[in-house]
Structure 1
Amino acid sequence: MRASRAIGPQLSVGGIKKLKIRKTLNSKLSTLNSEHISGAEGIYEKSEIQKVCKKYIKRAFTHPRGEPDEIAITIEKIRQKPRTISLLSVATLRCLSPEEARKIITRRLSDIGISHKAVNNALNVLRSEKTMRGASLIFAKSGARVEPDKERGIRVSRMGIEKSTEKNLSEKLSRAKINTTTVKEALVLASKAASWPDVIAEVCISDDPDYTTGYIASKEFGYMRIPNIKREKEMHGGRVFFIRETADIAGLISYLERKPAIII
């Protein structure tokens, strides 16, 4: 099994140093085969690194997909000033089954111009037994998959949230009884992705067997949580970005993977 997690201290307006940390977890099934476990990352102040590393290591050893055989943590200074972006709005939809979830996803995405073919192709990717390490890119009209490496996918990286914004978010999520690390990390990632002009929407299903709430996200309707998007104990999952047919794919990948962004 394999997982990667990244963290990095932010560069504030006042000029605090930025660092990035990446942690990789591998649990080898054989000398020729390994399986992705999980990934997580963030942007943090230098003074937070020790605490954050301990948190990620603990998460690695208690992950529901299994215990890794190998954990690697990378700390990297971020030399670019982070782009500042806004947080998507949050809502939880009513959904009682995976079948209902499929209808909700299709309807909501169709409303913003994504074709049924593109939605069906995305859901086939997400329900495949072979879990990708990163996200898939699918054209919103033709439904074609266009990420260069279909084994690796696209890994959204170098994102964080400003402290006061995170505090306000935690208070809001607490009132809705969903103030978890899982929700906050997914929301930050979705907000970064949605800020790029060529990204129309995202759909995500967690590959954790005990987490059955997924989401769709877009600048058009925000971040919408969908309970019961899959059944308990199912291991499939992943992330798909629906993009414009005219998208600058190289520019999009560069932004998602390498350009730092901070939610304000």
Structure 2
Amino acid sequence: MVSIRMRASIRTGKKNRKKSADLHISGAEGIYDRAVIGEVVEGYIRRASGHSRGRPDRIDIKIEKITTAPKKIRSLPVTTITCRSANTAQRYILELLLLSGVSETAVQNAVKVAYNPMVMRGASLMCAQSGRRVEPDRQRGIRASRLGISHNALDILSRILDKAGINSDTVREALVLASKVACCKEVIAELCVSDDPDYTTGYVSSRKFGYVRVPHIKRRGQRCGGRVFFVRENSARDNVIAFLEKKPVLVDDVSECLGVLSINEIIGKHHI
């Protein structure tokens, strides 16, 4: 099997740390059989070339042999929370993260990252109690990488999401990423706001609540976005980063999709 990763960007002409900065346009990745490399690469190029954030002037694709057997995991259960406004979304983000074990200070700091118009290339790594950011490079962030889903699990997941009316590359790939992140024992929760100005559904994920999609997490056309991984206060940072970025993980089993639920129904299903 191979890991295929794509990143598309536009040169801005600005300088950052004595290097030319660029604007992230699109990214995608997965673990695949060698037989489909050409098909996957072609699809990634099409996606990068037609993104709503702009037409890239650089598309980087990296193909890497997987030399160790991937850790096989089960995907998080999927829920869509009933939400009709960005203000309501922020209240729900706070409530879900607090109940997952994240402090209010950390949530407030994470919201600043997730709604920042200066979008990071990766995710912020944040201590769940103090709210301290501990990623080594605040521009690059941490990238959950070397992840994918088996062919059989993808077929099952697609059928489940079809019934819920949410079967898309965006949802499937975000769920696979969130499931890998959640299987890291030092990660408590994750918050994601897409940097796509036309995509207004983000998510909060954790082992406690699963993958909770949050509609209207931002207003349409809003150019901001970000991702935050909340980790235990005394985690060994380098070990967490090594797992998230280097450990191959393959979703090989699929959890249920619980449909659209209210905040009270979601919390009630996981009552403390």
State the TM-score, normalized to the length of structure 1.
0.91
Shift of 1:25: 2.1
Q: Say how many residue pairs are matched.
A: 247
After superposition, the C-alpha distances for 1:171-200 in whole angstroms (9 at most, x for unaligned) are 110001000000000000000000011000
Aligned counterpart in structure 2 of residue 190 of structure 1, from 173, 178, 181? 178
The code of the aligned residue for 2:221 comes to: K
Displacement of 1:29: 2.3
More off after superposition, 214-223 vs 28-37: 28-37
Aligned to 1:83: 71
Q: CA RMSD in A?
A: 1.0
Which residue of structure 1 aligns with residue 203 of structure 2? 215
Alignment of structure 1 residues 1-264 onto 2, 5 Å: 18-30=1-13, 32-264=20-252
Gaps of 5+ in 2: 15-19, 253-272
Q: 2 CA distance for matches of 1:162 and 1:33?
A: 36
Alpha-carbon deviation of 1:129?
A: 1.6
More strand by share: 2
Whole-Å Cα distance in 1 between the matches of residues 6 and 217 of structure 2? Answer: 28
| 1:111 Cα deviation after fit | 1.2
Larger RCO, structures 1/2 (Cα 8 Å, 6+ apart): 2
SS of structure 1 residue aligned to 2:22: coil
Opposite residue 95 of structure 2, the aligned amino acid is: R
- Which residue matches 1:3? none
Q: In the aligned structure 2, how far is the partner of 1:41 from the partner of 1:21?
A: 5
Shift of 1:112: 2.2
Higher mean C-alpha deviation, range 28-37 or range 203-212 = 28-37
Please give the alpha-carbon distance, in whole angstroms, between the structure 2 residues aligned to 1:133 and 1:28: 14
Q: SS state of the match for residue 33, structure 1?
A: strand
Residues 59-117 of structure 1 show CA distances to partners (whole Å, capped at 9, x for unaligned) of 01100100001112221111011011111000000111111011001111111221110
Q: Which residue is 1:7 aligned to?
A: none
Q: Give the Cα–Cα distance (whole angstroms) in 1 for the partners of residues 174 and 9 of structure 2.
A: 22
Q: 1:48 to 1:94 in 2, by over 3 A?
A: same
Hey, what's the Cα distance between the residues in 2 that align with 1:134 and 1:106?
22
Q: CA deviation at 1:28?
A: 1.5
Q: Which ranges of structure 1 fall in alignment gaps of 5 or more residues?
A: 1-17
TM-score (normalised: structure 2): 0.89
Matches of 2:21 and 2:236, distance apart in 1: 34
Q: What SS is found at the alignment partner of 2:82?
A: coil
C-alpha distance in 1 between matches for 2:28 and 2:6: 8
- Aligned-partner Cα distance in 1 for 2:41–2:33: 12
Secondary structure in structure 2 of the residue aligned to 1:247: coil
